[in-house]
Amino acid sequence: NINLVKAVVLSVQKTFMIQTETPFFRNKSKFRTTDKEKFLGDIQGIISISLNEKRYYIIVSLEKKVFLNIVSKMMMEEQKDINEENQDATAEILSITMGNTKSLMNKENRKLRAEIPISYFSKDAKNIYFKRTQETVDLSTYTIISIPFRAKLGQVLFEIALPPGLSNEEMREMILG
């Protein structure tokens, strides 16, 4: 039995191992209850997903230095700054991760649908604009599960923004399976 959190964790580890040849280890997940108005990293990738007819958001949050370390490994050449060539790497990481997540969830007959991810260069979690769907989302109003990972390349934070109105049982299922 797999749930969204387990699927994301396994997918993150697989994605980073393949893309960077570096193991990423999960630290303890927790609910983020403070500073929800801002993201913790300098650079975010954000994707909207639908599962059981509910909308979730998956966020990868990176400090600039960690972003450049990861992108350098992915592109197999040193990246010294964020530029036009590498700026969409967070969206690419999410796209690959969500493909793996979708595959795991679909094996359990849990139909997951993912939108196109965006790279986001602000700490503001209140006014995120998704060009494709022309939606502005305020993630500071969502319940957030933070899932930190650590590796030689630095710390990476994945977060899952749970849709409003989930029952305690649905949240427990999301986390525990």
- Per residue in 10-60, pLDDT (tens digit) is 999 999 999 999 999 999 988 887 788 888 889 999 999 988 888 899 999
Percent over 70 (pLDDT), the chain:
97
Give the per-residue pLDDT at 30. 87
Q: What is the mean pLDDT of the chain?
A: 89
Rounded to whole angstroms, the Cα distance separating 163 from 144 reads: 9
The helix (run of H) or strand (run of E) holding residue 78 is none
Indicate the pLDDT class of residue 1, thresholds 50, 70 and 90.
low
Query: Long-range CB contacts (< 8 A, 24+ apart) of 27-30?
Result: 27/147, 27/148, 27/149, 27/150, 28/148, 29/5, 29/145, 29/146, 29/147, 29/148, 29/175, 30/145, 30/146
Indicate the pLDDT class of residue 62, thresholds 50, 70 and 90.
very high
What value does the mean pLDDT take over residues 65-92?
Answer: 93
